[in-house]
Amino acid sequence: MAMPRPTAAQFAYGSCTVIFSTFAMLLLSQTSSGPGVAVIAVAALALGLLVAMTVPQPRTRTATTVAARGPAADRAPVPAARISAGAGDSARRRAA
């Protein structure tokens, strides 16, 4: 089974998390050594990957669920008496 391709939202959230968390950790730790920067970079990448993987995937509809429900299943029926009574009353008032 192949892994699904990442969505644009996953790329955006992951990239922003990596960039902002790297800057925040570098500013808060005030490190300037090579190993310290490397640890922060690895931690930011791991955090960005975690955020990107937790973004919900869009749901895809299957053809069987759409065909079973039909196009009018989502709409509630409106009683015909309510529609015709309002239209008939205004027409009668105008005629009188």
**Per-residue tokens: 81:** 């008496």
Q: 6 falls in which pLDDT band (50, 70, 90)?
A: confident
Q: Encode burial over 15-43: b for 16+ CB neighbours within 10 A, e otherwise.
A: eebbeebbeebbeeeeeeeeeeeeebeee
pLDDT digits (tens, 9 = 90+) for 37-74: 999 999 999 999 999 888 777 776 665 555 556 666 66
pTM above 0.95, yes or no: no
